[in-house]
Amino acid sequence: MPTARLTLDPGFRIGAVDRRLFGSFVEHMGRSVYTGVFEPGHPAADPDGFRTDVLDLVRELGVTLVRYPGGNFVSNYRWEDGVGPVEERPTRLDLAWRSVESNAFGLNEFMAWAAKAGVEPMMALNLGTRGTAEALALLEYANHPGGTAHSELRRSHGVPDPHGIRLWCLGNELDGPWQMGHKTAHEYGRLAAETARAMKRFDPSLELVACGSSNADIDTFASWEATVLEHTYEFVDYVSLHAYYDPAADDPDSFLASGAGMDRMIDAITATADHVGARVRSRKKIKLSFDEWNVWYQSRFGGEDSLQWQAAPRLIEDVYDVTDAVVVGSLLITLLRHADRVGAACQAQLANVIAPIMTEPGGPAWRQTIFHPFARTARHARGTVLRVEPDSPVIETAKYGEVPALWATATHDEESGEIALFAVNRDRTAPLTLTACLRPFPGARVVEHLVLADDDPTAANTADHPDRVRPRPVDGTGTDGDTLTVELPPVSWTMIRLATR
């Protein structure tokens, strides 16, 4: 049987685990909001119309940060439409997803939902069809205590205290020609810089995210970031990255190696940002916000032009299988392996639209397969990410060349003494023996060993069989002196927790 080896050592560190890495995304798209997180009249709805069954799953998922309200939607959105008495709010056409938007759910509803879910808001601004003035008006409405036109407007809407939103996205994917208000890098960079400058004048402690490339395959990748950051470096704290990985391209080995694509994208944008930092002679290090990532069967989507005007359509409701869950686990491993620079990340999206949580209107909510590696990683990746450099057999892929069969990382929580080891076997046919040297952690013992795998890698969860796929405990795993040895099944995600005291 092929064998991979690694060493866990507290002296080799990447960086602290930022809790913002376990973010998600709620966009006014499909059923993400309506009949997703918000469904007045549902048997499980609370007095605010929030589905409590979904709230329970969000808390179980361990989400820490939620980006709102888009996404492509935000680039043609008037935030004023979503505040005030619901019966007075206008119905609008959403040009991004060719949907009819009632605006029954807006900023204040989202903030009330975020408080109940226990998540930090990440607010996106419309810099597509709007600009600096409208962004400042929203900022004043959201964050100023009172005594001004927009803060008093908020108070008149029944929200006496400011929301205190700290993290703001300066638009969304404005490099993409599909975006309302698509711009060149220079056009966007100037607008983002002026908006950021004004927002920092309002409150220097705000954290701002400049739009990076919408994907790594677009022609302007990296050159877009270089130009945008030349304009904005002084004012922003993050640059965004977006990437989706498609299982439907008839190349399963490359799909299972999606973490290699994310890894290279992070390296490229880190290098680009540091190059600009050197050019502008700044000591500041720009962080990365990977605020859209997931598995998406994108090649099955007919595009926006194929959509018909309707309210809350069933849009991109992909059903995820075991292989998809393993890839999601590997992408989380990649984010942790870059904990020194990736300071925020949002899996897109939270409910129904390429989501870990599915719902039926008036009916149940359940966990998709991809729910499980996210929930376990969010719960147990604590403290410091250890620098783990596995010695692994390799797999040849068409898209990424040779990649290691084993993709792994580990975290060490000094406060509790717990180690969490996360590992993926990318091989579709062969199990893999993993040998981990624990000598720097004398006396370490296994307290939990979970594996997500299945004889049928296409198995999925449904409303009728919501627990068909879930992590299974492996009993009897122990250490042999200073060594942990486990077998990783083909196409599997594994988590092993060890106590060190």
Strand 445-452 to strand 432-437: parallel, antiparallel, or no bridges (unpaired)?
unpaired
Please give the order of strands across the beta sheet that includes 492-499: 13-16, 384-386, 406-413, 418-425, 492-499, 445-452, 472-473
b (16+ CB within 10 A) / e for 301-331 = beeeeebeeeebbebbebebbbbbbbbbbbb
Beta bridge partners of 404: 394
**Residue 292 is a catalytic residue:** yes
- Cβ pair 390, 384 in contact under 8 A: no
Instruction: Please give the Cα distance from 434 to 452 (Å, whole number).
Output: 16
**Residue 173 is a catalytic residue:** yes
Dihedral of the alpha carbons of 273, 278, 282, 288, in degrees to the nearest 10: 10
Tell me how far CA of residue 227 lies from CA of 35, 272, 405, in angstroms.
40, 10, 37
DSSP percent split of the chain into helix, strand, coil, nearest 5:
30, 25, 45
Burial level of 385, CB count in 10 A (0-12/13-18/19+)?
buried
Beta bridge partners of 397: 401
Instruction: Please give the Cα distance from 172 to 69 (Å, whole number).
Output: 10
The SS3 call for residue 438 is coil
Neighbours of 352 (CB within 10 A): 28
- Cβ pair 225, 282 in contact under 8 A: no
Instruction: Please give the Cα distance from 234 to 283 (Å, whole number).
Output: 10
Please state whether 469 falls in left (phi above 0), alpha (psi between -120 and 50) or beta. Answer: beta
Side-chain half-sphere exposure of 82, counting CA atoms within 13 A: 20
Q: Which of 39, 101, 173, 418 is catalytic?
A: 173
Q: What are the catalytic residues?
A: 173, 292
